[in-house]
Each structure stands twice: as C-alpha cells, then as structure tokens.
C-alpha cells in the first residue's frame, strides 16, 4: 500500500497527465474530481471500512445479536404470550430435564443428525465418484441431481408425505402388487418407523449437496497421483483410501460440519412430515420448541428448549473454526 | 481424478451405469410423483386399486381448484417480492462488507470476519422465538417486512463470505493501477473491483434468491393472515385442514412453487454450483 498522505497528490498529477495522453490504457480512467471532505475521510481505509460494514452490522445487531440476548432472557423467564415475564432462574431448564418428551427430542436430535449425516456422506461420496466419470449428458445429470436440494423443502416433503400415506402409499401399492407384503405398512405409524422415514427424506434432500461439493473436491485431485499409485500396484480401493480421501479430507470435513449444523437445527422437514408425532415420538429441539412456544404460547419455556441447541452448536462451530485455522 | 478405465462393457454397466440410473431415478422420483398426482383425477387418487404411476384421464382440475379456492397467485407474488427485495438488500450489504473484509486494512478485520462467519452458521431454529418478539416490537409482524428484514440475517453472512472469497481472487494490482491513474479509493472500488466481481455477485444472488424463496420457519411464525403468506407456508397451512389433505391441489401447488426456483437454477447452474462450493470453502 502506498502512503495515504501522498496519494491525493499522485492522483492530481495523474489526472493532469491523463488529459494529455491519448486513452490507450486498458484500465478505465475515472475522472478525478476535487476531493471533498467526505471523499478525503473515505480515503482512510479504516473509515471506509466502517462505512462499508455499517449496514451489515446494523442488521446483524438488530436481528441476531439482540434476539440472541433476548432469547437468553426469555429462557430464564416465565413469559407467556400477552403477559410480561418474571425472572425464574433455571426453572425452565429444570422442567425440561424432567420432561420425557424433551428427553426424547434430545435423543431424536442426535440420532437424526448422526445417522442422516453419515448416510449423506457415504451416498454423496458414491454419487460424486460416479459423477466424476466422463459420460454423455453429464451436465444434465449433475444439474438434475441438485433438484432435491434447490426446491422448497416443504413442498418436496409434502410429496414424500403423500408417498407415505397410510392408505394410498405408492410404496405399499408397489410392494403389495409385487407380492412382498400382504398388509399395508404404516410408514409414519410408530416412532421408530417415522424416524426412519424422516432420515430417508433428509438424506434424499441433503445428499446432492454432499455429492456436488465433494465432486468439486475430486476435480482438484491431480490425475498423475492416481497413475503413479496405479503403477506402484495400488488397486482402485486402495487408491481411493490412500490417495483421493486424504486429498479431499479438508473439504469433506467442512461439508460434514455444515451439514451437521443444518441437520441438528432442522425444523421444516420434521414439522411437515410428522409434526413431531405420532404421540410426540419424533420431536427434535426445533419442532418441540415451536410446539411449546407457538402452539402452547409458553415463550419462556420454548426459548429454553431452543437455547438447548446452543451448546452443541457452539461446540461444532468452535471445532470448525479451529479446523479451518489449522488447515490454513 | 482420472476417469477409471474399464475392462468390459458388462463391468462398466454393473459398476457405473446401473448405479447411475438408480441414483438419478431415486433422486427424481418424488418430482414425477408431484406431476402425476397433480394431473390425476380425484376418483383415481383415492382408489386403492388404481395403478398410481400413470393416468389415462389427465385433468387440470387441481390447478383450477388451487387458484379458485386458495390465494395461490397472491402467495406467488408475495414469495417473489420477498425473495427479490431481501436478496437485493443482502447483496448490497454483503458486497460492501465482503469488499471491506477482503481488501481494506483495519484493526477489526479479522475478528469481524470471524464474527460474520459465526452468524452464518446460526440457524433460524435458535432465534425464531425472540425474533418473533422483536418483529412485533418494530410493528412489522404479519407484513412482508417481517421476513424481508429477517432473511438477511442468514443471507448477508452468506453473501459476505462468498464475495469476500471472490474479492480475494481479484488481483489487488488492478485497483492500484486505477489509483495511480487518479481514481479515489471509492472510485477504484465501484468502477474497478465491483464490475470484476459480477460473476461472484450473480452466484451469491442466485443462491440467496433460492434460499429466501424456500424459507419456512420465519415465514411460518411471522406471517399469519392468508393474504400475507408465501407459497411454502400457504400450501402447507391452507390445503391441510386438520387431518384432511387435499392432495391434488397440494401437489399442484408444490409443483408450481418448485418450478420458478428450478427455472432460475437451470439458467444459472454453474453460478449456483460455484456458490454452493464457495459457500463451504470460503
């Protein structure tokens, strides 16, 4: 960076020169005006930075930082809709740890997150390896693959709900006509089955994200390394584990962490498919917090449930920051 | 990575074509299901004997019902308006902030960058309850502004992050040339760097547009009257009455609500993929 004090002088000289020299330079030469007071202020980088960051900081303070603090206050109050709350200490959290539905939601959140993320990673990696081949219509296939990820989750989940319908399920129709089952399966009928369906839909929706980002990682792997390993006698499996995987591990880790956060805090897919049912057996933190805060109008209790997400979220974020720093 | 070589066509079929076709089929089947359900007449939809995979009597009745019985057209307009305005706000803020964090030297650059990255990871689930209160306090509850102003909370960090990465790939020297030629700091930024960042802006914009088109939780909590709803909320709340699901119009609505994002996406696949991979790489 040039010394900022002499830049205006340089600028004036340059503009004087620019008026004589014919415009044969590739870079457009903006006309130089007499620097105004404001203009001079904005020449100083930290002031310009402040001005550029101001709109972002205002919005994020008003709609993230402030609600976050307010959320902590709500979680330690007995606020219900239409009445100011009083400070009640950790009572809401005490209620939560003695609430079987909350404990079930807690367990579900972890089961849902870990199983779905593991499946998305495995299938996404498989899909990425397939898409890394050369074949006709590759671009169309790749574009089509991402559809589950880009259409509104609520709308595609409704299509799944119709496929899982108790009476008219297409899966039941097919299985019965093939002769594999004689009685209808109630896909969303009990907690375990319903959780399986939720994980299935989540994997269907999230797998393309893994596939496309991992594919981008695969494309950066130098083919020479593979050839070298092949000459040294490594088979395809060994080449994947020993050459490809270590090279794409950084991007893989970041994708997994992103996906874990999103899955952990999922709301819409579960709320649409099961609404936490049957008998509150498939609630996760998000849906249970909504149930208590919005439907039962107990804002304080609800806020304490959604705040319970925070420690795990924080752990993943801290780990992610640490990992990014380390690999930089 | 080199494309693996195959010994025989049979082996290539087993290890490549069959898995590929299965994968594509399973990925796209639910969309086929939306389409076929939306054109099958009710007598077929609710007949357990009828083959559900196709129909000989396609009908547009469900689409007709969707527009006649619900405010679908209104929801579509709301969704578009909200997505466009919140994307524009987020791009504006993200462009300025991304530039500042990537290019300018000031004391708080690094902690601010980290802070914005953290807000990028904060999920709506954590904040929707207190945010509902904030929205009410500002008197914008049940108006489009309730979501237009809250969607940027996850869109701005994303745009900032993506554009910051993009600005870092543009050589600093181009701007310095302009400075020597007499451009002020701001002129160099607006006339030199911003035009060069157009592909990045486009990527961030497409991604932000699809995110706000698809958003569910904030819209569900902050918008309550039928004429204010967006498509995802409207279809979900107004076509399900208690335990009764109007599957024909539901799938017609799901289809029509998916097509605009799918279209936008299909025109800008490459930009979208850049945003997607850039979003995780930074």
The full 3-state SS of chain A, as one line of letters, equals CCCHHHHHHHHHHHHHHHHHCCCCCCCCCCCCCCCCHHHHHHHCHHHHHHHHHHHHHHHHHHHHHHHHHHHHHHHCECCECCECCCECCCHHHHHHHCCHHHHHHHHHHHHHHHHHHHHHHHHHHHHHHHHCCCCCCHHHHHHHHCHHHHCCHHHHHHHHHHHCCCCCCHHHHHHHHHCCCCCCCCCCCCHHHHHHHHHHHHHHHHHHHHHHHHHHHHCCCCHHHHHHHHHCCCCHHHHHHHHHHHHHHHHHHHHHHHHHHHHHCCCHHHHHHCCCCCCCCCCCHHHHHHHHHHHCCCHHHHHHHHHCCHHHHHHHHHHHHHHHHHHC
- Quick one: pLDDT at residue A218? 92
As a dihedral over the C-alpha atoms of residue A317, residue A90, residue A298, residue B131, rounded to 10 degrees, the angle is -40
**Rg (Cα) of chain A, in Å, rounded?**
28
Q: Cα-flanking dihedrals φ and ψ of residue A218, to 5°?
A: -60, -35
Distance of CA A237 to the CA centre of its chain: 30
- CB A126 within 8 Å of CB B19: yes
Is residue B3 one of the residues assigned to a domain?
no
CB B190 within 8 A of CB B175: no
Degrees to nearest 5, angle at CA A65 with A62 and A71: 105
Q: Tally the domains of chain B.
A: 1
Say if residues B131 and A63 touch (Cβ distance below 8 Å).
yes
Q: Does B3 touch chain A (CB under 8 A)?
A: yes
The whole domain housing B219 covers: 64-281
Q: Nearest CA to CA, how far is B129 from chain A (Å)? A: 6
pTM above 0.90, yes or no: no
8 A C-beta contact, residue B193 and residue B99: yes
Residue corresponding to tokens 């800008």 = B268
Q: Is the pLDDT of residue A223 over 60?
A: yes
pLDDT at A3: 39
**pLDDT tens digit sequence for A281-309:** 999 999 999 999 998 899 999 999 999 99
Query: Mean pLDDT of all residues in chain A?
Result: 86
Closest listed residue to residue A154, CA positions, set B247, B254, B124: B254
Q: A97 CA to chain B: closest CA distance, Å?
A: 19
Q: Express each pLDDT in B27-75 by its tens digit.
A: 999 999 999 999 999 888 888 788 888 888 889 999 999 999 899 999 9
Instruction: Say if the Cβ atoms of A147 and B273 lie within 8 Å.
Output: no
Q: Which residues contact A304 (CB under 8 A, 6 or more apart)?
A: A74, A75, A76, A92, A93, A95, A96
Considering CB atoms only, which of A39, A156, A299 is closest to B30? A156
Distance from CA of B226 to the nearest CA of A (A): 17
> Does A56 have pLDDT greater than 80?
yes
As beta bridge partners, residue A87 has A77
For range A169-194, the mean pLDDT: 89
3-state secondary structure of B41: coil
Range of weakest confidence among A19-33, A200-214, A282-296:
A19-33
Query: Is residue B227 predicted with pLDDT exceeding 90?
Result: yes
Asked whether residue A85 carries a pLDDT value surpassing 60, the answer given is yes
Residue B5: strand, helix, or coil:
coil
Q: How many residues in chain B?
A: 282
**Could you report the predicted ipTM of this complex, rounded to two decimals?**
0.91
Judge whether residue B254 has pLDDT over 90.
Answer: yes
Smallest CA–CA distance, residue A152 to chain B, in Å, is: 4
B4 in any annotated domain: no
CA pair distance A209, A316, nearest whole angstrom: 19
The answer for B 139-168 residues in CB contact with A (under 8 A) is 149-150, 152-153, 156-157, 160
Cβ contacts of B44 within 8 Å, gap of 6 or more: B50, B55, B57
Residue B143, domain CATH: 1.10.3720.10
* A-chain residues near B129 (CB < 8 A): 71, 74, 289, 293, 299, 302-303, 306
Cβ contact B184–A293 (<8 Å): no
> Which residues is A314 bridged to in the sheet?
none
Contact B129 A204 (CB under 8 A): no
Kindly state the percentage of chain A with pLDDT values over 90.
54
* B5: confidence class by pLDDT, cuts 50, 70, 90: low
Please give the structure tokens belonging to residue A109.
């959140």
Residue B44 lies in a domain: no
Topology of domain A91-327 in CATH is: MetI-like fold (1.10.3720)
- Residue A7 in this model has a pLDDT that exceeds 80: no
Radius of gyration of chain B, Cα coordinates, nearest whole angstrom: 24
Calculate helix-pair angle for A45-60, B109-121, nearest 10 degrees: 20
- Residue ranges, CATH 1.10.3720.10, chain A: 91-327
Amino acid A4: pLDDT: 41
User: Cα distance from A204 to chain B (closest Cα, Å)?
Assistant: 7
CA dihedral of residues A115, A116, A117, A120 (deg, nearest 10): 120
The residue of A155, A223, A251 whose CB has the most chain B CBs within 10 angstroms, and thus the best one to mutate to test that interface, is A155
Banded pLDDT at A33 (limits 50, 70, 90): low
Give the pLDDT mean for B250-260: 94
pLDDT greater at residue A33 or residue A201? A201
B11 touches chain A (CB under 8 A): no
Tokens of A169: 């399920």
Q: Would you call B186 and A42 a contact, using CB atoms and an 8 Å cutoff?
A: yes
Q: Contact, A208 vs A145, CB < 8 A?
A: yes
Contact A59 B157 (CB under 8 A): no
Residue tagged 């930089």 (tokens): A328
Per the DSSP assignment, residues forming a β-bridge with A80 are A83
Cis omega (within 30 of 0) for bond into A278: yes
What is the SS3 assignment for B2?
coil
Q: Which pair of tokens denotes residue B224? A: 């309550």
Determine the Cα–Cα distance for residues A71 and B61; give it in Å rounded to an integer.
Answer: 46
In chain B, pLDDT over 90 holds for what percent of residues? 60
Q: List the end-to-end C-alpha distance of chain B, in Å, as a whole number.
A: 23
User: A56-65, B96-105, B116-125: lowest mean pLDDT where?
Assistant: B116-125
Which residues, at least 6 apart from A325, have a Cβ–Cβ distance to it below 8 Å?
none
What lies within 8 Å, CB to CB, of A186 at 6+ separation is A166, A193
Residues A33 and B191: beta-carbon distance below 8 Å? no
- Taking the Cβ of residue B277 and every Cβ of chain A, the question of whether any pair is shorter than 8 Å is answered with yes
Q: Is A136 helix (H, G, I), strand (E, B) or coil?
A: coil
Q: Write out chain A residues lying below 8 Å of B2, CB-based.
A: 223, 226-227
Question: Inter-chain contact A152–B192, Cβ cutoff 8 Å?
Answer: no
Residue A254 pLDDT > 90: no
pLDDT tens figures, A308-322: 999 999 999 898 888
Contact A205, A153 (CB under 8 A): yes
User: How near does any CA of chain A get to the CA of B243, in Å?
Assistant: 12
């Amino acid at each position: 960076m040039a010394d900022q004090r002499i830049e205006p002088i340089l600028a004036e000289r340059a503009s004087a020169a620019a008026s004589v020299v014919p415009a044969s330079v590739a870079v457009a030469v903006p006309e130089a005006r007499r620097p105004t007071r404001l203009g001079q202020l904005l020449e100083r980088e930290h002031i310009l930075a402040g001005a550029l960051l101001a709109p972002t900081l205002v919005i994020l303070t008003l709609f993230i930082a402030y609600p976050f603090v307010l959320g902590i206050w709500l979680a330690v109050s007995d606020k219900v809709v239409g009445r100011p709350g009083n400070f009640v200490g950790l009572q809401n959290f005490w209620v939560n740890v003695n609430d079987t539905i909350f404990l079930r939601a807690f367990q579900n959140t972890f089961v849902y997150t870990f199983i779905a993320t593991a499946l998305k990673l495995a299938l996404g990696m498989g899909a990425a390896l397939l898409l890394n081949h050369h074949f006709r219509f590759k671009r169309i296939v790749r574009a089509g693959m991402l559809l589950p990820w880009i259409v509104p989750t609520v709308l595609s989940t409704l299509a799944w709900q119709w496929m899982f319908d108790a009476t008219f399920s297409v899966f039941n129709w097919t299985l019965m006509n093939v002769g594999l089952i004689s009685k209808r399966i109630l896909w969303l009928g009990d907690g375990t089955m319903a959780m399986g369906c939720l994980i299935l839909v989540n994997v269907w929706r999230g797998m393309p994200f893994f596939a496309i980002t991992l594919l981008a990682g695969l494309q950066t792997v130098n083919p020479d390394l593979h050839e070298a390993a092949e000459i040294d006698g490594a088979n395809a499996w060994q080449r994947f584990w020993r050459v490809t995987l270590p090279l794409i591990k950084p991007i893989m880790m970041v994708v997994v962490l992103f996906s874990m956060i999103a899955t952990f805090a999922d709301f819409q897919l579960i709320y649409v498919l099961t609404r936490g049912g049957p008998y509150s057996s498939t609630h996760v933190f998000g849906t249970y917090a909504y149930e208590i805060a919005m439907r039962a109008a107990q804002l304080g209790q609800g806020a304490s449930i959604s705040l319970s997400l925070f420690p795990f979220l924080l752990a993943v974020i801290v780990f992610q920051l640490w990992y990014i720093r380390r690999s930089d | 990575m080199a494309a693996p070589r195959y010994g025989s066509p049979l082996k290539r079929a087993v290890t490549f074509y069959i898995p590929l076709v299965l994968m594509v089929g399973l990925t796209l089947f639910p969309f086929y299901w939306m389409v076929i359900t939306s054109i099958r007449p009710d007598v077929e939809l609710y007949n357990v004997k009828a083959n559900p995979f196709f129909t000989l009597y396609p009908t547009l009745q469900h689409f007709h019902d969707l527009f006649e019985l619900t405010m679908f057209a209104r929801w579509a307009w709301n969704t578009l308006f909200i997505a466009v305005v919140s994307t524009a706000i987020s791009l504006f803020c993200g462009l300025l902030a991304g530039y500042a964090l990537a290019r300018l030297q000031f004391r708080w650059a690094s902690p601010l960058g980290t802070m914005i990255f953290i807000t990028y990871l904060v999920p709506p689930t954590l904040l929707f309850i207190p945010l509902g209160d904030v929205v009410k306090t500002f008197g914008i509850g049940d108006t489009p502004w309730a979501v237009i102003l809250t969607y940027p909370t996850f869109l701005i960090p994303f745009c900032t992050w993506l554009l910051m990465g993009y600005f870092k790939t543009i050589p600093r020297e181009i701007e310095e040339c302009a400075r020597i030629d007499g451009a002020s700091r701001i002129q160099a930024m607006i006339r030199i760097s911003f035009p060069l960042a157009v592909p990045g802006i486009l990527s961030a914009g497409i991604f932000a547009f699809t995110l706000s088109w698809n958003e569910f939780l904030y819209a569900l909590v902050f918008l309550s009257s039928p004429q204010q709803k967006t498509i995802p909320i409207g279809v979900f709340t107004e076509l399900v009455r208690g335990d009764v699901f109007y599957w024909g119009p539901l799938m017609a609505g799901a289809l029509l609500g998916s097509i605009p994002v799918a279209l936008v996406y299909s025109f800008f696949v490459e930009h979208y993929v850049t945003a997607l991979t850039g979003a995780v790489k930074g």
